[in-house]
């Protein structure tokens, strides 16, 4: 029986438009699950550029190693993704399986395997039944379509309780461009790299050398600013494909003002997907936004925010709807970042509980308690007089996380 849909899930999968130059299809290859699709193929128009961020794990999956080798070329013609088996730590057979997938796709598209990006998610350490994938690919290729984003997002889910998608539009000069993305992930989520699998697509015409810094910048305030359980996946993969079908003038560089709208749209899609991952955090009942201000710089603020967001004691307190600001103070301290103790301030939902390094005199916890009963919790912290600020997102830690993870073999 699938787990119930997260109480923090969006009401519905968004209406998502076509992206010119992108064709999608899914199939049920029967890798692990029964009665659902588990294989996604994306065909990309000739000339598509690509940027990506991959897990920093020192035990990366075999598909991650493949993508890492391909990314410097900056071009792509296809993406193939399976759910149910992560293809991690299976030795030489793992690398051979990735190559077999890429070659099978390349043959269908009359291109080279070096143009085919591969991602896998699911159980670690079991050989990938790659024959099932290569057997399913020809039929899948025959029915590629333009805008079945929801089916694509569903095909890559594992413990996810809802499919994740987001899109935005922007103008580059006078030309409208689209950014659309899908993601999966709900556990083994730590922000210090792209988180689990996320694939973004745009019809903008941008060289890979420009695409990569745009993606990195968008990540800082999205995929790098979320955490569910501090665990970093072996398979984290974030790829951004630009088909170049939109006819707009070529930007002069990443700071060209003509890109302002695109940058905002890219960040919006990335942040929306990242937040959906947190909303699907295993066992989550509350979405928590932690905002840190007054740090020595933005990076320091983010490290403090993540220390708070990763603290099991903070996350259990919020699960218990307890305005336990002492644990927030503890977590600030454990980050090891510069803090001006006499300026330390902590609020929940805009209601100050500590100020100038001590509890607010005659604190009335009533409005704080009311805020904590909600589903979207705000923790705001001031750590000094600096200009560094950051917001990170996480979820509460509940008995549901334990029961999911004490039984599921991922």
Active site residues: 195
Helix/strand/coil (H, E, C) string of 244-266?
Answer: CCCCCCCCCCCCCHHHHHHHHHH
Q: What are phi and psi of 221, to 5 degrees?
A: -110, 25
The nearer residue to a copy of itself, 148 or 300, going by C-beta atoms, is 300
The nearer residue to a copy of itself, 73 or 334, going by C-beta atoms, is 334
The nearer residue to a copy of itself, 16 or 317, going by C-beta atoms, is 317
The nearer residue to a copy of itself, 38 or 236, going by C-beta atoms, is 236
Q: Supply the DSSP string of 64-84, one letter for each residue.
A: HHHHHHHGGG-B-SEEEEEEE
DSSP-derived pairing of the beta strands 351-355 and 376-382: unpaired
Q: What is the binding site for a copy of itself (CB under 8 A)?
A: 55-60, 86, 88-91, 93-94, 123-126, 187-188, 190, 229-234, 310-313, 316-317, 319-320, 322, 324-327, 329-339, 341-342, 344, 354, 356-359, 397-399, 401-403, 405-407, 409-410
The nearer residue to a copy of itself, 166 or 397, going by C-beta atoms, is 397
- In which element (H, E) is residue 101 found? helix 92-109
Q: Supply the DSSP string of 322-373, one letter for each residue.
A: ---HHHHHHHHHHTT----GGG-EEEETTEEEEETTEEPTT---HHHHHHHT
Q: How far apart are CA 245 and CA 234, in angstroms?
A: 33
Min dist. Cβ of residue 125 to a copy of itself (A): 5
Indicate if the alpha-carbon torsion angle 267, 269, 273, 278 is positive or negative. Answer: positive
Min dist. Cβ of residue 54 to a copy of itself (A): 12
CB 28 within 8 A of CB 36: yes
Min dist. Cβ of residue 62 to a copy of itself (A): 10
The nearer residue to a copy of itself, 60 or 244, going by C-beta atoms, is 60
Min dist. Cβ of residue 220 to a copy of itself (A): 19
CB 1 within 8 A of CB 407: no
Min dist. Cβ of residue 314 to a copy of itself (A): 8
Min dist. Cβ of residue 82 to a copy of itself (A): 16
> What distance, in Å, lies between the first and last C-alpha atoms of the chain?
17
The nearer residue to a copy of itself, 49 or 190, going by C-beta atoms, is 190
Q: What are phi and psi of 136, to 5 degrees?
A: -85, -20
Contacts of residue 176, defined as CB under 8 A and 6 or more positions apart, other chains included, come to 169, 170, 246
Cα 233 vs. chain centroid, distance in angstroms? 12
The nearer residue to a copy of itself, 59 or 216, going by C-beta atoms, is 59
Name the token pair of 60: 């990366």
Min dist. Cβ of residue 84 to a copy of itself (A): 13
| DSSP assignment letter at 117 | E
Beta strands in 131-174 (DSSP E): 164-172
Whole-angstrom CA distances from 381 to 258, 329, 389, 398 are: 35, 9, 10, 23
């Amino acid at each position: 029986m699938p787990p119930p849909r997260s109480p923090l899930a969006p009401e519905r999968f968004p209406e998502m438009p076509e992206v010119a130059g992108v064709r999608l299809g899914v199939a049920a290859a029967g890798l692990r699950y029964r009665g659902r699709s588990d294989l996604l193929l994306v065909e990309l128009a000739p000339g598509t550029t690509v940027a990506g961020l991959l897990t920093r794990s020192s035990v990366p999956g075999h598909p991650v190693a493949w993508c890492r080798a391909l990314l410097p070329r900056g071009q792509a013609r296809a993406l193939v993704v399976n759910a149910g088996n992560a293809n991690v730590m299976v030795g030489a057979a793992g690398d051979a399986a990735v190559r077999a997938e890429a070659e099978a796709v390349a043959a269908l598209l009359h291109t080279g395997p070096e143009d085919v990006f591969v991602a896998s998610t699911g159980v670690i350490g079991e050989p990938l039944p790659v024959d099932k994938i290569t057997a399913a690919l020809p039929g899948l290729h025959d029915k590629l379509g333009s805008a079945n984003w929801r089916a694509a997002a569903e095909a890559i889910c594992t413990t996810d309780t809802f499919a994740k998608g987001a899109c935005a539009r922007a103008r580059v000069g006078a030309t409208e461009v689209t950014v659309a993305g899908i993601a999966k992930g709900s556990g083994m989520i730590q922000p210090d790299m792209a988180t689990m699998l996320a694939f973004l697509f745009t019809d903008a015409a941008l060289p890979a050398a420009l695409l990569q810094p745009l993606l990195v910048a968008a990540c800082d305030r999205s995929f790098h600013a979320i955490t569910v359980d501090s665990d970093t996946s072996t398979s984290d993969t974030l790829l951004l494909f630009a088909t170049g079908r939109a006819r707009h003038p070529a930007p002069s560089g990443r700071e060209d003002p003509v890109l302002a709208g695109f940058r905002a749209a890219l960040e919006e899609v990335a942040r929306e997907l990242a937040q959906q991952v947190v909303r699907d955090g295993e066992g989550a009942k509350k979405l928590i936004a932690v905002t840190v201000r007054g740090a020595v710089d933005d990076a320091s603020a983010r490290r403090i925010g993540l220390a708070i967001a990763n603290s099991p004691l903070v996350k259990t307190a919020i699960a218990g709807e307890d305005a336990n600001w002492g644990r927030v103070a503890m977590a600030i301290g454990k980050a090891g970042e510069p803090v001006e103790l006499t300026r330390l301030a902590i609020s929940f939902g805009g209601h100050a509980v500590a100020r100038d390094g001590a509890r607010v005199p005659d604190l009335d916890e009533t409005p704080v308690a009311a805020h904590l009963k909600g589903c979207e919790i705000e923790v705001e912290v001031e750590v000094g007089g600096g200009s560094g600020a950051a917001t990170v997102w996480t979820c509460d830690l509940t008995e549901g996380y334990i029961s999911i993870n004490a039984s599921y073999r991922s």
